[in-house]
Amino acid sequence: AQSVAQPEDQVNVAEGNPLTVKCTYSVSGNPYLFWYVQYPNRGLQFLLKYITGDNLVKGSYGFEAEFNKSQTSFHLKKPSALVSDSALYFCAVRDNAGNNRKLIWGLGTSLAVNP
């Protein structure tokens, strides 16, 4: 079965420190991977995606993610966290089974950046 897991419900990091939000996936065929962010009382916003090519993908707001095929992971990273990065982060993978190619979503990881 195709799935995506975000093993941490919450990640806490001090401002200025590097941050990592973890995501692992299970999918048939080539993985199409995505990160979205949800700020409080807002809709989700697209951050970045991996389709093919370089394993390190750069996205919005200084975020990047590293695709690791052997570990089936797509962790989100940022070298220096800001308080304003505090939000809910969702990893998603495209469902390659069936015709509609919908996204399969993780349960989300709440990131708290402390000043």
The footprint of another protein (CB under 8 A) covers: 32, 34, 36, 38, 41-46, 49, 51, 88, 90, 92, 94, 99-103, 105, 107-108
| Token reading at 33 | 């991977």
Report the residue number, 31 or 75, with the smaller CB distance to another protein: 31
State in angstroms the smallest separation of the CB of 45 from another protein. 7
Report the residue number, 51 or 83, with the smaller CB distance to another protein: 51
State in angstroms the smallest separation of the CB of 60 from another protein. 12
C-alpha distances (whole Å) from 38 to each of 20, 29, 31, 70, 109 are 16, 28, 23, 29, 10
